[in-house]
Structure 1
Amino acid sequence: MVHLTLKNLGLLSLLLTFTLNVNASEYWTGGIGLESRQEAPQKNTRFEFFDQSRAYIADIDFTITNSTGDTLVEGLATGPWLILELPDGLYTFTGIQRETKEQRRHPFSARQGQPQTHRIQY
């Protein structure tokens, strides 16, 4: 049996908040058409995916890991833009384009208040 006091609940709440902030589980993907781009959220990390002819592409299975190799977020970018908020740190983006099976790996850093765009060519 676990007994939680208010002191314990405060610490538990702090730990849960920290975990949710580090595990950037929410992301936005889109960018097809002007309306979709206007709806894009303002976050500190954005990826744009394109092919050799510089045309936007989609359907990228992706994983973002931190500097210790822990997976923070993974999913499918159904549009040419992937946008998320990450805490300050060093990360690696790994993506596989579903149609061609090409894989890309891109180390990057994130900083609060300093939006960055990473362009990944397949």
Structure 2
Amino acid sequence: MPSSERRRFPRFPFHSQGALSVAGGVHQGMILDVSLKGALFRADSLFGVEDGQMCCLDIFQAGQSGFCSATALMAYRRENLVGLEFVDLSDGARQLLKQVIEMNLAVDTLLERDLPAMLGTPGTN
């Protein structure tokens, strides 16, 4: 099953610079989208990086580090694109991302809907 069909939380555009620390290296790039459970990151280059590795994603604000960080699992990699699943997200980082998502949605109750519920699949809330 493609990862997009397994995704429980919708992702929203979030174009911001960031850095991915993995396997002893730091890879600069751009966060393309984000949810409360993960992100899509496009790196300038990704030498020696493989699926399944643990990493740290630092999200920059206005080009400056310090906006928020998350420990993540590299769920997939295709060329310079990396799909990340957050495994440790502090309460502060969660609140910052929630605010970004709320600005995109403008409706707080939509934040944690899953796809089956959105589609009205039988057996979902």
Q: TM-score range by the shorter chain?
A: 0.3 to 0.5
The structure that is strand-richer by fraction is 2
- Greater length-normalized contact order (CA 8 Å, ≥ 6 residues apart): 1
Larger radius of gyration: 1
State the TM-score, normalized to the length of structure 1. 0.36
TM-score under structure 2 length normalisation? 0.35
